[in-house]
Each structure stands twice: as structure tokens, then as C-alpha cells.
Structure 1
């Protein structure tokens, strides 16, 4: 029942997010239609309700299928089902109402503000807006009032004004996340009729004068990041979210990339409060069949992005907006996608007042040639009008060519020898580009604690669940696989992070984000590996496999919710990342003398023949991170993560009689011995 005292008030329905469109009816009368899976929206319904009585509300959610999947999803896994994915609430206010307030600081001392105001009444109203900056102790430390304005019946307007100076400002940064609040009041005839309160921080974020680095509060600042997916499944659990962001901080990271789906306000409340820079990525993925060449689609995308950006414009933690993931990477020769990005980017910069954030297309500078597409222009232009260049390279997981880093490598190119990645970085930073460069994805230790790889369709020849490549890294013996999986995560986190981090001062590298950070903080004692694997199958292989149920909006179909899997305790890979990000010097460990000896004896007789190659190591007692590789006649044959043994034998068959050459290699800590 709607209370009787709501008569004469403005009554609105507010939704944080739906997928993919909504029709709303109140008392069987049409209240509004919204299309868009990312942005919050509001429907005024006071003309359709009756105060003091029970009112009927009906919401029709239209999923992606009804639109032939030609719309943006709320997040990556929301393509296959519709639903309400955020808070929904009824608000009651005066009919002169503040709809939106945006604020930013041009100089870390003053505040520039704008507010959208609507007059829902049937008469004109004369009003002013007053903004106050309130410290964490509750003291008003600055204020400013707009010029008086008159708004006609049913009118809407945007007003701008300033707070000229706030004395003794405490700047916001990840190291010192000093938060203020801005209290904005709408005043009519000397009386406050509406008020909003939002978090605010005094900080500046920019690009350095040499165009190579980011700056925070006037000083060059390197982004040490965690690329995560947890926000897509856990949207509205404040305790889980608070603990997760705290774990990111504990790792030494100062930034989070919210991969393929804008986070709820609960996540951004925590990044503001705890001090973590936010890179927010919209759920537009280049591997999906979307109408990139259609103007209406770029207009729809731009409008939806703009509404979400405006909602979170004032947050101190939000610094980069990624307009999509791998739109160019998977199809580098497709200029249609590049033109789409350019149209959306230019429109957003014109419409959302892009004075304190930057735009990115994640992974745009990864490959210029794939098996099906080749970019023929200059590599310096491959990212289009993005403010940033960005690579997704997974050395030791995704295949990289040792000769050309921008071409997907040959079969079995999975060596974890970091010299290949180092050579690739030389090629990358030799490209003449005057923009900061990010690695928003690297690492690739996508295993659960049982050694099962993250299931992924093999778009660029990467390992998938329980594949030969998974066995290549983890081994096939089920008994030690959990220990080997953790060791593999540790090795990947350590070696790839060290190799990239070493370039932070000598190149235009401006930030790195370890992708798969979620895997580094699961508690293996509480992990249900089968359900976790099922969750990733449900999430990433869309449409779902016919023999596997999809997770529904309420988390049913036998798959547990994400939060039940995550005890948020650091594992070896987490601490490897922490040592680098925090500059912790680990206790030295003795390095054994490692040598390889080969016994290669093809048997005589009728082909095919069998052979055995044995590789040995001396002085390796207690070492648990060996990987063994064998080659025959210069061709790669087998690998094993037989980590604790001091020798390993390979049995290889199918050889003809005659002379052959054999070689064994042992790799320790990613370094070939």
C-alpha cells in the first residue's frame, strides 16, 4: 500500500540495472520503456498511483534473445537470460527534484558542479542550488550557490556552478584515500525541498607531458592492477565486496580492472573508500556477432555508456573507461570495428565532459595477424582513437611467435622461458606510439586448485579445460595436481609480473593488470572444484553446451553462487604478486647446479621404433618447480611438470631406423637450464 502522505509528492521507480530492456506498467497503465543493460534509470509514476491504496506494478523484462542478441549485455554472462540485476526501489520526494549531480576538481582545490533538476509540478518554480563540501569529521569546509533560476511546469534543466576554493584540502590517492562528501540542496522560497549526498575526492588524473605515463595529483603514477571477474557474479553483497577489495589492496595492487561488465555501486563505494583506482570495462566483446557497422548501434552504445559514466562521473577512484574487450584483437584487420570504436569514443568525449578520465579498447595492440585476419596499416594506428594502447599477452598460456610478437605463434609454442616475452616487449615498445601502454591482461594461470584449466573455446589456440595443453603444464597424475596447479600459478604470477615490471621505468609501460587474480585468492580447502568449473563453463561458454545447465538469474540449476567458493585467502601466486608489487625481498634460496644428460638409444628393428630420453639434474634437492621438455630431430615432443624429481624419462615411439638427434631441457623458475 502506498502511504497516504505521499499524495502530492513526486514518486519514482528507480532501477540500477536490467537486461536487456524493460516495460513498466502501474495500475495497468504504461509508465515507461528502457533499453540498455548497463545504465541506471528512473520512471516517474506519481500520475499513475493512488496514495493510501494498494497499487499494481507490472514489469516486463525483455531478454537479449528477443532482440536477436543485437544489444549490449549487462555483463558478459548476461547474454542468455534477462532479469533485474541491481537494486530496485521506490523513491518519494518533492515535485521539484534533483535527478543527477556531477562534480570534479580542476585543480585539487576548487569544485565544478552541474545538476539536473526536474519540475514535476503543474506550476513554475523559482529555485537555487547549494553545494557543500563536508569533511570526514562532518565539518563543512567549502560551499557554493548557483544563480537563481525559474523552471516551468514539467520542465527539466541542467545548471552549473562552482565552489571557488576549499582550504586545506586532503588529496585522494590509493595511498591516502581521503574522502569528502558533497551535499547538494535544492532551495525554493528559502526552504530545502530536495537533497543528494555523494562521495567525492580531490584528485587529478592525467597523462604526463611526454605522453608516456599516467599522473596522479601531478606526479607520474604506475598502475599495479588486478583484473577481476568477481563483480559480475557478486553484485550486491557488501561484506564480500569489502573483503575482496581489501584483498586486492593486500596484494600491493593500486588498481582494479572490472573485466567485461560495469560493477555495481557497492564495488565502487569500496574502491572510493579503500583507495583503489578503477578501470571500468563495458561488456562489449569483439568475438560476438554484433552490428558494429550500423550507426544506430554505435548511437545506442554511446548513449548507454554515457548514462553510466554520468552516474559515476564524480567518483575519485574511476579513472579509465574501457569501451570493450578485444574488439580489435580477435579481428585486427576489421576496420568496421575500429571505426565503431572511434565513433563511440568521439561521441562520449563530446557528451560526457571527459576532463578527468581516459578511454581504452582493451587488448587492441596485441596481434596484427591472426589465422583469419590481418591488419595492413601501421601498428601505431591499430588502436584507433583510444587514449591508451593495450596488450593482452599470455606468455606460457597463449601462443606467441618468437619472431613476431604480433602474430599468434606456432603449435606447441608454450615455453615459459621469459626471454621470449622480453624479446616481444622489445618489439612492442619499438613501435612509434605516443600514448601510455597498459597490459590489462597477462599471466593466464587459469586453473582451479585441482589443476583444471579455465574452459575456453580455442579462439587463439589457448589451453582449454583438461586439454593436452593443461596436461602440458600441470601433468596428468591426479594425486599431485592440486600442488602442481598452485605451483604453476605461482610461477606464472612471478615470472610474467617480474618481466613486465622491469620495463616500468624504461618504456612507455604505464600499468599492468594480472588477469585471473580471482584464482589467486580462493581457499582450496573450501573450494568445490566441480562446481567452480561448472560456474566458469556456464559463465564463459555461451551459448551453454547442450549437456551443461546454465546458471539462471537466481543461481539455480545446480551451480552454487560464486561467493560460496571464495574464502578469499591468499595462495602462492598471490604472495608472488605481493612480493613484486610491494617490493618485498624474499629470503634467498640456494640455487642448485643443474645439468642435463641425454641417453638416446633408438632400438634396432622394424619401424616404428621406440626410444627413451632421460634428463637429469644434480644438486636439486628440495626444489619443486621443474618442468621437463624433450625434443627429437629438432621437433618438440613432450613436456611434464614432474617438479620434485631429479630426473625424468620420456618414452617416444614412431621412429625409423637410422641416426636421430635428441635433446632434453629442464626449466626452473621459468629459466631454461
Structure 2
């Protein structure tokens, strides 16, 4: 069972927020850009206690007025400020947001203020009172704000700071845009005083023909009657909570298993006398046997693609169902049965749509490149993000891999940091596979040997390699041999190269579609020589914004490794990969 450590006034996450009784706070929010944080610190750099932008002050004509939410510009939330305000395209710092809303208080009801994600450091105020803070840009959090809500008019103010710092997760150096803002849904959820906080339903790992799990209340209330219903399986199970507010169950069942070609989901209801929570849940098994991955007792090859959470066509942070469906439809057109959602937990809608569409998911935390390995707070931050990722998506059968890192440099401090993360992930969930994106950088005598001390902590040995782009030429692939000395499945978590869509030339000319096309041809031919290869996820589905990629007329602040352009046009390499996947699909029928 997932554990929880109380942090300030934050309360454990409301699982499956979309099924709750919610008041949406999406829409227009007033905002104030505050690069010097004048709304938080006085001129001696001391934090304000009873003054500042977190108030909803109405100014009199005789008063000094240097800020005013009421006359400030508005921004649609969810969104990122980089693409909503052209003056903020490169901005990293603090922006204040404010939203007015109406609320009717009622007895025996709590108000839980839920944020899908804020990047990166958030401080939240309701009706002028500080209710809590959260650090981390890609996971949800919520506060119990019952005691600060009033009947009638209310307001919420959020201080958002996306400045990068060395000890953050991710750290200062990264290869994607640092989109700032309130980037996912905001809702005020109305729940009973004692409510269903969390639950788990899955095929029992140890007993065949059994569905097991638990239901958790927010309070340590014993002898509460709860009901689990899965009508299609003719399951109606009543359970009683123990002194911890937990109720466990085991029921006989033979569900149709979820699989990419037939992504079966069941309607599931958890209820008590004054509350119903509904979900759609699928059942499947995932395991490794030697160098193979087995889904539902059958060997499977993961035909994948890596995806950033960047909106198709318009760019900016993706968050909507429409964004998810567009990106995942392109993945399906490529022939994928799996997506690597890099390099951080994507929004819940993305994971649920992947599940609905029959795509297995690799989900990752942003332990990326060179983290502050010896900093205790950095580790705690990474562990918290890992916890929250697993906590939110533990009932999503599409998620088959938890990834704990990407392209991290070898060393004792790194090994200690990552081994602790791997062990923690397995404590939280022992039903999925653990992996991380290692890297291969050396090739003496045209032999790549993968050596990484983390091999003992993962179920799948995954690595990134860029033959033909950062190493050698496309012709190098013809000579390359591979030595991977571990009896575990292998996934190439990244490979690829850049191309500007519409730029054509000889296949030896960098940045042309023909060069990228040749790179994919040579790499996919080379894959036949990799023993134990069980999947690939090329980098990347769509061109995405990155401040590292500045080459004028070619990159223009886009990473151009996408198989699809930022305007949605498929490049020639897309069809090379599609043909290869079509053959793999036939091979693994």
C-alpha cells in the first residue's frame, strides 16, 4: 500500500478527481508578473505576513496603489505563460494568479482545492490566508480549505515560481521548455466529512482467479461499511473498515484482460452511504522472463515512441483531452502499442486516454542528467515526485513501467541515489516493471558494451543511443555490435536524429528529411544484432521547443528530432518506422 507523509496543510491526494463533485476553477485568472517578488518580500527581503499580492484589496483613491489584481490582465487556466503572453516567452520567475469564485457552505461537507500541476514552486492562499505550498512541476496536489471558505464570494491567489535551481528535480540543465504557470486543471472538490480518499483494484499477484485490493477513507474510522461493485463481473462486495480507515477485499473473478488490440475496461464503483466514486479499470499482468517481456502470459514487443507533454500545432504545455487524443492517435498511426511519456509524469488525461486507446505506458520522474546526488532535500523531492506519480496512476493498467531516471552519469553517489529510488518504487508498487534510461557512449572496436551498476535494481535494461547523430555516421550502424551482459529484456529508450520538415537533399546531408530517413533505416537494420531486444521508443514523436536548440533557420528553439513536425506534418522517417513496426506486429502475432 502507498504511504503518505503529511506536508504542511496539504492532504493526501483525492484519487480519481474527475469522478468527484467538483466546482471547476478553470477559465480566466488575473495575473501579475513579479520578477523581483515584491508581492512576497518587503524591501528588506522579509516575507510579508499581512500584506502582499495574496490579498484581494480594494484601493481607495487616497491610498498608494502599486498593484491591482482587478485591473490586471487575464490568462486562461490551465495554460503556460510562455505561450499566452509573448513578453514572457523566455521568462523564468514569479507570476501571481488570482481567481474569484462563489461557494455555498454546507454542514458535513469538506472543500478540497485540487491542482493538477503547477510549475514549479507554488504558494497557495484562499481568502487572503496561506493554505500551503508545493514543490514539483508535474504532479497533482490538494489542500483541505474547508475552514477558510466562506458563503458567497471567495478568491484564491497562487504564487507560481518556475526559476530553475541546481538542487531541484529537474535541475538547471534540461532539454525541454520550462513552461511556467498553472498548467493543469484546478477544481474545488466537495466531499463528505469522511470520504473515500483512495483505492486499489487489480488482479491478485499471488492467487489466480482473484481480484484484490483496498479502499481507504480519509479518517481513521472503524466499522464503516463500504461497497465495491463491478456489475459486468457480477461483483458486489461489502467490506468494513478497520481502525485505520482501511477496508481490504478479495473476490473471485475472471475478467477479460486489457491488451493493446482489445483495451477492455470495467465500470467500477466504490460507495458508502453518502458517496459514490466511479472509475474505469482494466486488468492485466506484466512480467519478465529472462530477456523477454510478457503481457498477460504472452511474449510482447514494445513498439513505442517517446512523447513530450507539448501541445500539437500550437505548442505550449499540453493538458486537454484533445491534445492527448491527437498525440496518441499519431502514435497509433505509427504502429505503436506503447508510449514513453518523458521526462516527467504527464497529465492524468494523457494516461487515461492511452489506456482507452490500447497503448502501454512508460511513466517517468524528472531525475534527468546531473542531479544533486548528495543533497538530502533533492532526494526527498525526487522520492516525493515518484510517490505522487505512482499514487495517482496505480489503478491505470496501461502503465507497465515506472522509470526512475534518464541519462544520468555513472558514479557512487548517483548509484546510491537511484538504488534508493528503485527500492522505494518497488515498495510502493510491486506489480509493475522498474526501468531507467541509461546511456551508451563508447564503442571501442565497433562493440558497444552496456555497463551500469543499476542493472541489478531494474527489471528492464533500457538505454539511449544516437548512432548517426551524436556518434559516428549512419554507415556506422552497419559495423556496430552489441554486448549487453545482463539476462534481462532490453529496450532502446531513445534513438534518432533531427530533420527540418520540408528540407530535402542528399541522404548524407544533415537536417534533411533524407538524412533522418537513412538514419532510421540503418538503425532499425542494426537492431537485429541486439540480443534480448524487447522494445524501442524513438526520440521523438513531434518536434518540441527547447532553449538549447537555437540554430537559425533550422532549429529556431525547436528540437527537430520529431517524426512529425511542430505543424503536424509527418516526415519521411515516420514511414520507415511505421514499416518496421508493421513487420514486428506480424512477427509477434
Give the TM-score normalised by the residue count of structure 2: 0.72
Residue aligning to 2:424: 347
Given candidates 508, 511, 517, the residue that maps to 2:532 is 508
Q: Deviations over 1:239-268 (max 9, x none)?
A: 232132122122222111112122111211
**Farther-moved stretch of structure 1 (7-16 vs 77-86):** 77-86
Shift of the alpha carbon at 1:10? Answer: 0.6
Residue aligning to 1:59: 158
Contact 1:338 1:383 in 2 (8 A): no
C-alpha distance in structure 1 between counterparts of 2:134 and 2:454, whole Å: 35
Shift of the alpha carbon at 1:582? Answer: 1.1
Q: RMSD of the alignment, in Å?
A: 3.6
Change (3 A) 1:415 1:62: closer
Residue aligning to 2:284: 203
C-alpha distance in structure 1 between counterparts of 2:442 and 2:525, whole Å: 25
Contact 1:19 1:74 in 2 (8 A): no
Given candidates 101, 113, 137, the residue that maps to 2:213 is 113
C-alpha distance in structure 2 between counterparts of 1:489 and 1:166, whole Å: 49
Residue aligning to 2:352: 269
Given candidates 244, 268, 277, the residue that maps to 1:182 is 268
C-alpha distance in structure 2 between counterparts of 1:21 and 1:30, whole Å: 14
Q: Deviations over 1:522-580 (max 9, x none)?
A: xxxxxxxxxxxxx6343x459x99xx9989xxxxxxx9xx9x96554544322221212
Residue aligning to 2:188: 90
Asked whether 1:225 is paired with 2:234, we answer no
Change (3 A) 1:4 1:267: closer
Q: How does 1:501-650 map to 2 (within 5 A)?
A: 502-503=528-529, 507-518=531-542, 536-538=545-547, 540=548, 566=566, 568-583=568-583
C-alpha distance in structure 2 between counterparts of 1:144 and 1:131, whole Å: 5
Residue aligning to 1:474: 509
Contact 1:231 1:263 in 2 (8 A): no
Residue aligning to 2:246: 159
Unaligned runs of 5+ in 1: 151-156, 371-376, 400-412, 453-469, 476-480, 520-534, 552-558, 586-673
Residue aligning to 1:133: 230
Spell out structure 1 runs of 4+ moving beyond 6 A. Answer: 548-551
SS of structure 2 residue aligned to 1:363: strand
C-alpha distance in structure 2 between counterparts of 1:206 and 1:4, whole Å: 49
SS of structure 2 residue aligned to 1:86: coil
C-alpha distance in structure 1 between counterparts of 2:176 and 2:421, whole Å: 22
C-alpha distance in structure 2 between counterparts of 1:207 and 1:116, whole Å: 31
C-alpha distance in structure 1 between counterparts of 2:230 and 2:153, whole Å: 40
Shift of the alpha carbon at 1:82? Answer: 3.9
Given candidates 487, 490, 494, the residue that maps to 1:434 is 487
Asked whether 1:392 is paired with 2:464, we answer yes
SS of structure 1 residue aligned to 2:466: coil
Shift of the alpha carbon at 1:74? Answer: 12
Change (3 A) 1:33 1:415: closer
**Farther-moved stretch of structure 1 (9-18 vs 487-496):** 487-496
Given candidates 478, 486, 500, the residue that maps to 1:419 is 478
Q: Deviations over 1:48-71 (max 9, x none)?
A: 1112x2123222223334x55534
Contact 1:100 1:311 in 2 (8 A): no
Choose 1 or 2 for highest CA Rg: 1
SS of structure 2 residue aligned to 1:177: coil
SS of structure 2 residue aligned to 1:495: helix
C-alpha distance in structure 2 between counterparts of 1:252 and 1:291, whole Å: 38
Q: Deviations over 1:54-95 (max 9, x none)?
A: 123222223334x55534479956785642121111111211
Residue aligning to 2:123: 23
Residue aligning to 1:362: 437
Shift of the alpha carbon at 1:368? Answer: 6.2
Residue aligning to 1:630: none
Contact 2:545 2:557 in 1 (8 A): no
Residue aligning to 1:314: 395
Contact 2:176 2:546 in 1 (8 A): no
Residue aligning to 2:9: none
Shift of the alpha carbon at 1:317? Answer: 0.7
Contact 2:167 2:378 in 1 (8 A): no
C-alpha distance in structure 1 between counterparts of 2:557 and 2:469, whole Å: 27
Change (3 A) 1:59 1:274: same
C-alpha distance in structure 2 between counterparts of 1:116 and 1:339, whole Å: 33
C-alpha distance in structure 1 between counterparts of 2:104 and 2:540, whole Å: 52
Change (3 A) 1:240 1:74: farther
Residue aligning to 1:478: none
Q: Deviations over 1:623-665 (max 9, x none)?
A: xxxxxxxxxxxxxxxxxxxxxxxxxxxxxxxxxxxxxxxxxxx
SS of structure 2 residue aligned to 1:499: helix
Contact 1:236 1:266 in 2 (8 A): yes
SS of structure 1 residue aligned to 2:361: strand
Residue aligning to 1:608: none
SS of structure 2 residue aligned to 1:64: coil
Change (3 A) 1:258 1:130: same
Change (3 A) 1:127 1:440: same
Shift of the alpha carbon at 1:441? Answer: 0.8
Change (3 A) 1:446 1:541: closer
Residue aligning to 2:500: 448
C-alpha distance in structure 2 between counterparts of 1:17 and 1:172, whole Å: 29
Q: Deviations over 1:106-153 (max 9, x none)?
A: 267432222331249xxx77512222224xxxx463232322446xxx
Question: Structure with the greater relative contact order (CA < 8 A, sep ≥ 6): 1 or 2?
Answer: 2
Q: How many aligned positions are there?
A: 472
Shift of the alpha carbon at 1:35? Answer: 2.3
Shift of the alpha carbon at 1:284? Answer: 2.0
Unaligned runs of 5+ in 2: 1-100
Q: Deviations over 1:144-191 (max 9, x none)?
A: 2322446xxxxxx45242241224x21101111111132111x2xxx2
Change (3 A) 1:147 1:89: same
SS of structure 2 residue aligned to 1:514: coil
